[in-house]
Structure 1
Amino acid sequence: MKTRLLGATVALFVSGTAYAQAPAPDNLEKLSNFQSTGTTEFTRIEQGGDYAAGIKKTLERISLPAGFKIGLYAVVPDARHIAVGPQGVVVFVGTRKDKVWSVTDRNKDRVADEVKDFAPSLRFAIPNGPCFSPDGMLYIAEQNRVLTFPAAEFFYESPDVAAFNVVKQGDLIPPSEESYNHTARVCKIGPDGKLYISLGQPFNVAPKDKLDLYREQGMGGIIRINTDGTGREVYTYGVRNSVGHDFHPQTGELWWTDNQVDGMGDDIPPGEINHQTAAGQHFGHPWYGGGDVRTNEYAGEEVPYDVVMPAVATVAHAADLGMTFYTGKMFPGKYSNAIFSAQHGSWNRTTPVGARVMVTFIDSDGNARTEPFAEGWIDENDEYLGRPVDVAQLRDGSLIVSDDLTGALYRIWYEGK
């Protein structure tokens, strides 16, 4: 396996795979001017061996509806949110560390042949959220910056890539509010061609002395901007920490998950899948901890906004994260325009829940119901064998699911009739 060694590099063993990690220089200015950086090597991740075999063994215990199958698509350390290239060439996977991975299935056997770091000459900071525009522009939402990579499906083969600021470092949120908590961004291009970015607020319950600043900046909300970084506005208010959103394929309306308040008990408050029908709607935080459950910190206070209640109340503390609407043709018709979403699993609960993929069906009136689709990553000892993060759709209509505990992408496909 070929690795990149720079300076005082330390070889780390992450998700069962050894790879070299070193601070990269900030070469954004050079790349924006189409200049070479001198970077010549990638970090490559081994795809076979005992570690991959162990993941495949775990997948044998995953239950799915009749006719569906699941398999290992790729070993991807710290795999978080997923962006599938519009041309079907490559899948980009963000992390909460300093890597973005490119995943390529070169022989189209629906198993990845190559996983290597994307843009290794750049220094990323929590590049959790990649997303694509329909015309092939890759965007990566970091902790406090948004970058764009034109023709990423072409340039990713080289260590140097075309890269430009959309929101420069320090302008996505005030630098004073940078945190280690609730700082994993996600992005998506809306039907209006604008870029929608979630900005989690860093507290369990946002304190009163931060509310005016957060409302102004869109922290604890979802903002939208033009793809050149102009025209910033707050689209969604009253969010605790959303790490997944998508637009209904027919109505164009925004749906999103939200992680709710910890420390209130095993069974409250519920998690949320929300449905937004207009700009500027408020979804309750910090007056509500989840659903209609009031927070202890704001109990008894009058809520100063009209609050939109969740479309779906999910099991408490299951940590609903990434989601996507299904638009493929592989699955049976009942799954058309349904939401597939990942439950990362609980930490603030005496008995763990989640660690599964859910499906949410929406009727013609907008009413929604959710149920488990793929589960089994919690064993009989209440031990996590995996923690799903995001769900995305490949061009053939199958799904890929990321897992940051095992460091993997899974593929789910349908073989039934």
Structure 2
Amino acid sequence: MPSMKTIVWSAAISLLATSALSTAASAQNAPGNLEKLGAFKTTGATPEIPLVPQTGRKADAIKKNLAKVKLPPGFKISLYALVPDARHIAVGPQGVVTFVGTRKNKVYAVTDRGKSGVADEVKPFASTIDLAIPNGVCFSKDGFLFVAEQNRVLMFPAAEFFYESPDVVAVPIVAQGDLIPKEEESYNHTARVCRIGPDDKLYVTLGQPFNVPAPEKAELYGKWGIGGIVRFDREGKNREVFANGIRNSVGMDFNPKDKSLWFTDNQVDGMGDKIPPGELNRANQPGMNFGFPWYGGGKVRTAEYKDATPPETAVAPQVEMDAHAADLGMTFYAGKMFPKKYQGAIFSAQHGSWNRTDPIGARVMLTTLKEDGTADKTEVFAEGWLTPDGEYLGRPVDVAVLKDGSLLVSDDFAGALYRITYEGR
């Protein structure tokens, strides 16, 4: 009997041939499109997908703002692409195309066909499917793209090569309404992120919707992994809670050296400008608890749980970041372009504060590791998107490494991807 991968690959090839023949008027986001695609049928959408313009006043203004960004000597930042609402980034394993999620209803495909260091084509991906907060995008090494929405996970086989058509094979490995209970859907903390682990399982973060949840939510959230990280087989089966005690993680990656999972966590609001700290955490085994809601961040206790006894096994963060800087996306730098200091280190994005009287963040951080795989030093790598008078020129969300070793930074405020290169000696 053929494997699921074989079936899906065959379906993808069949669907590509079918959808290429379609010249009908656009049927974008019509009800039932996902079912049509699953049955290898065209939706009737026109094969022409509108491109996002890459030149003009907006591009010129962003380039001007980038001149204010400070980097270590030898590094340079430039505009890579205009991508509306750009959030998390998935670089294709073949280096053909990069996918960018959003907190709205689109995923974008970004292509640099000439390998010039500047994207020449940005367009919506899988535009005939209704998407709901498709923030989390991630690739398996063998070319399967996963998109983690607010309450569903889709898998796209060979997305790097079938992205040219509005009709692409989409397999709901976690059906709509099965990622979290429908009644727990919220407007708050809805951005999921995903990674394929060294065990070939799919990991998904599930932020809990409250600033601090009520105790009566504990049993339900513990069962579902809300306020934690869950993992599945790549087909969406055998769900388990990998880690809990997490408020709202919007960034994670695996250390390629020791296979440990690192993740950022956004901590409790409304406790003042200086507390609690943001977090960068390390999970080197399943079942670890990272202390929320007893701790609001680091070792700072929450007022709501100050009289409750925290778990004895609660794990402290590897790094305590500045309070309310909003630590989001992160990646281990596996490229060769940057000097040795940066190779194997963690780059992470700080989105910037919203509830501090003295704003902080809107920058990219660097964390180096010790020989034992734990955190060593954390420092600012790139800053300048927050002006001295508190105005945001941009708000970094995620970081990812291109095949040439350059670093991409997404910005959902400016609607852009930036590319950082090293030109020193």
TM-score, normalisation: structure 2? 0.92
SS of equivalent residue, structure 1 residue 361 = strand
Cα deviation, 1:279-320, whole Å, max 9, x if unaligned, reads 000000000000000000001221134100000000000000
Structure 1 position 177 matched with structure 2 position 184: yes
The answer to whether the Cα contact below 8 Å between 1:26 and 1:121 also exists between their aligned partners in 2 is no
Q: Provide the rounded CA distance (Å) in 1 between the counterparts of 2:362 and 2:86.
A: 15
Q: Which amino acid aligns with 1:171?
A: D
**How big is the shift at 1:24?**
4.5
Counterparts of 1:105-254 in structure 2, within 5 Å, are 105-254=112-261
Aligned to 1:27: 33
1:414 to 409, 412, 422: 422
SS of equivalent residue, structure 1 residue 138 = strand
Structure 1 position 360 matched with structure 2 position 360: no
Aligned to 2:45: 39
Compared CA separation, residues 26 and 404, structure 1 to 2 (3 A): farther
The answer to whether the Cα contact below 8 Å between 1:39 and 1:120 also exists between their aligned partners in 2 is no
SS of equivalent residue, structure 2 residue 221 = helix
The answer to whether the Cα contact below 8 Å between 1:24 and 1:120 also exists between their aligned partners in 2 is no
Identical aligned residues as a percent: 65
Instruction: Single out whichever of 235-244 and 294-303 deviates more from structure 2.
Output: 294-303
Structure 1 position 276 matched with structure 2 position 279: no
The answer to whether the Cα contact below 8 Å between 2:325 and 2:360 also exists between their aligned partners in 1 is yes
The answer to whether the Cα contact below 8 Å between 1:25 and 1:121 also exists between their aligned partners in 2 is no
Structure 1 position 378 matched with structure 2 position 386: yes
**How big is the shift at 1:26?**
4.1
The answer to whether the Cα contact below 8 Å between 1:182 and 1:241 also exists between their aligned partners in 2 is yes
**How big is the shift at 1:380?**
2.3
Structure 1 position 90 matched with structure 2 position 97: yes
The answer to whether the Cα contact below 8 Å between 2:29 and 2:129 also exists between their aligned partners in 1 is no
The answer to whether the Cα contact below 8 Å between 2:25 and 2:45 also exists between their aligned partners in 1 is no
The answer to whether the Cα contact below 8 Å between 1:198 and 1:243 also exists between their aligned partners in 2 is yes
Aligned to 1:14: none
Q: Provide the rounded CA distance (Å) in 2 between the counterparts of 1:318 and 1:5.
A: 46
Counterparts of 1:294-373 in structure 2, within 5 Å, are 294-365=301-372, 366-373=374-381
SS of equivalent residue, structure 2 residue 218 = helix
Aligned to 2:9: none
Instruction: Single out whichever of 22-31 and 52-61 deviates more from structure 2.
Output: 22-31
Instruction: Single out whichever of 41-50 and 154-163 deviates more from structure 2.
Output: 41-50
The answer to whether the Cα contact below 8 Å between 2:69 and 2:384 also exists between their aligned partners in 1 is yes
> RMSD of the TM alignment (CA)?
1.3
Q: Provide the rounded CA distance (Å) in 2 between the counterparts of 1:182 and 1:6.
A: 33
The answer to whether the Cα contact below 8 Å between 2:91 and 2:139 also exists between their aligned partners in 1 is yes
Counterparts of 1:252-271 in structure 2, within 5 Å, are 252-271=259-278
Aligned to 2:411: 403
Report how many aligned residue pairs link the two structures.
400
What stretches of structure 1 of length at least 5 have no aligned partner? 8-21
Compared CA separation, residues 384 and 208, structure 1 to 2 (3 A): same
Aligned to 2:71: 64
Cα deviation, 1:107-155, whole Å, max 9, x if unaligned, reads 1101000110000100000000010000000000000000000010111
Q: Provide the rounded CA distance (Å) in 2 between the counterparts of 1:169 and 1:367.
A: 38
SS of equivalent residue, structure 1 residue 86 = coil
Structure 1 position 387 matched with structure 2 position 378: no
Q: Provide the rounded CA distance (Å) in 2 between the counterparts of 1:5 and 1:316.
A: 51
SS of equivalent residue, structure 2 residue 122 = strand
Q: Provide the rounded CA distance (Å) in 2 between the counterparts of 1:210 and 1:368.
A: 36
Q: Provide the rounded CA distance (Å) in 2 between the counterparts of 1:361 and 1:86.
A: 25
**How big is the shift at 1:367?**
3.3
Q: Provide the rounded CA distance (Å) in 1 between the counterparts of 2:138 and 2:75.
A: 27
The answer to whether the Cα contact below 8 Å between 1:325 and 1:340 also exists between their aligned partners in 2 is yes
**How big is the shift at 1:5?**
9.5
SS of equivalent residue, structure 1 residue 211 = helix
Instruction: Single out whichever of 293-302 and 311-320 deviates more from structure 2.
Output: 293-302
**How big is the shift at 1:277?**
1.4
SS of equivalent residue, structure 1 residue 317 = coil
Q: Provide the rounded CA distance (Å) in 2 between the counterparts of 1:350 and 1:154.
A: 48
Cα deviation, 1:202-239, whole Å, max 9, x if unaligned, reads 00001111111000000000000000011100000100
TM-score, normalisation: structure 1? 0.94
The answer to whether the Cα contact below 8 Å between 2:291 and 2:311 also exists between their aligned partners in 1 is no
Cα deviation, 1:51-105, whole Å, max 9, x if unaligned, reads 1000000000000000000000000000000000001010000000000000000
Q: Which amino acid aligns with 2:33?
A: N
Aligned to 1:13: none
